[in-house]
């Protein structure tokens, strides 16, 4: 029996977030019917965007109280949307909200859950998922049982869906019974983390990171110039942020950000396990380092052994030439 799959959408700058469109593409790859769900301010207008991707039905909880509330405040609404649509599978983006939602929804909805998923396969008895474990050093296959399933995806592990415009019927839902304690915390403001001039680190499809091998803070511009030529985000190793060369918001690794871009370029990074844990799920890894025995080369798809002060400027110049910059 084919499932009904509910995609929980997130709002970014008044539109359906890119990560939610990725989740929508995964839902469309499964057999059965796909429905959408959005909650928060302007949810009804955002829910209409599901129609751009071939979804004919969506649910919206247009309630501004949910914008700054903890994730748990949304769970009653998601449960109501699942009941109204007859969904047995809920797919969420691999975002902070999505990962938090999985645990609470699994308990409230009595469902099997998994996060960091890179592959889904539907059978009549279970939903089978694959995901990296042990910091990306192994991959597990897990069969989720019980008839109800909620999964959060690994960021950038799936392509965005192609557009297939269709009329979308949006059903309005109330926020449901939200415990007052979940609405008590008030968000008084949001301060954006310091970042480079390119895309956000966790959302970028290309990340260029620099390590202690760049030798001095003024040389980090080589990393930033290559990133700018590629339209990439800028990252850094812990050695760089500990030295104060760049803010901690740039740090990729176990104690920093975990990234999963299509392309990760590591410049002057030796490859300590703490760093590798944060970028191992990148689709393609390129390492540039003068030390041929550096651990980073064990996980790299492509490695360049040589002087980064010659290689990186030449690479930047070639990228700019090819892109006409």
How is the chain split into domains, by residue range?
Answer: 4-183, 206-323
**pLDDT of 47 above 90:** yes
Instruction: Domain 206-323: state its class.
Output: alpha beta
pLDDT level of residue 193 (50, 70, 90 thresholds): low
What is the structure's pLDDT at 132?
Answer: 82
What pLDDT digit, counting tens, does each position of 57-108 carry? 999 999 888 887 888 889 999 999 999 999 999 999 988 888 899 999 999 9
Domain covering 4-183, topology: Rossmann fold (3.40.50)
Q: Which positions ≥6 away from 130 have C-beta within 8 Å?
A: 117, 118, 119, 139, 140, 141, 142
Least Cα distance to 266 among 307, 296, 306, 290 occurs for: 296
Give the predicted TM-score (pTM) of the model. 0.77
Least Cα distance to 17 among 115, 95, 114 occurs for: 95
């Amino acid at each position: 029996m084919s499932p009904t799959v509910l995609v929980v959408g997130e709002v970014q700058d008044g539109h359906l977030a890119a990560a939610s469109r990725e989740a929508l593409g995964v839902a469309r790859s499964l057999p059965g019917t796909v429905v959408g769900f959005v909650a928060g301010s302007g949810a009804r207008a955002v829910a209409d965007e599901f129609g751009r991707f071939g979804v004919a039905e969506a649910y919206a909880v247009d309630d501004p109280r949910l914008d700054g509330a903890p994730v748990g405040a949304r769970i009653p609404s998601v449960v109501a949307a699942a009941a109204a649509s007859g969904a047995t599978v809920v797919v969420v983006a691999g975002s902070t909200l999505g990962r938090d939602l999985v645990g609470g929804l699994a308990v409230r909805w009595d469902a099997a859950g998994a996060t960091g998923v890179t592959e889904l396969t539907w059978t009549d008895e279970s939903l089978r998922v694959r995901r990296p474990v042990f910091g990306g050093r192994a991959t597990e296959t897990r069969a989720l049982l019980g008839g109800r399933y909620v999964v959060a995806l690994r960021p950038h592990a799936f392509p965005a869906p192609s557009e297939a415009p269709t009329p979308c019927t949006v059903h309005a839902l109330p926020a449901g019974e939200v415990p007052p304690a979940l609405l008590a915390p008030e968000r008084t403001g949001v301060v954006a983390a310091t970042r480079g001039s390119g895309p956000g680190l966790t959302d970028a499809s290309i990340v260029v990171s620099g390590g202690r091998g760049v030798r001095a803070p003024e040389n980090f511009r080589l990393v930033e110039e290559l990133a700018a030529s590629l339209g990439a985000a800028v990252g850094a190793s812990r050695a760089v942020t500990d030295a104060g060369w760049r803010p901690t918001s740039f740090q990729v690794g176990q104690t920093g950000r975990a990234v999963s871009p299509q392309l990760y370029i590591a410049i002057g990074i030796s490859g300590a396990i703490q760093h590798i844990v944060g970028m191992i799920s990148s689709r393609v890894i390129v390492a540039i380092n003068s030390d041929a025995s550096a651990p980073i080369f064990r996980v790299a798809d492509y490695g360049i052994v040589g002087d980064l002060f010659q290689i990186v400027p030449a690479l930047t110049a070639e990228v700019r030439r090819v892109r006409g910059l």
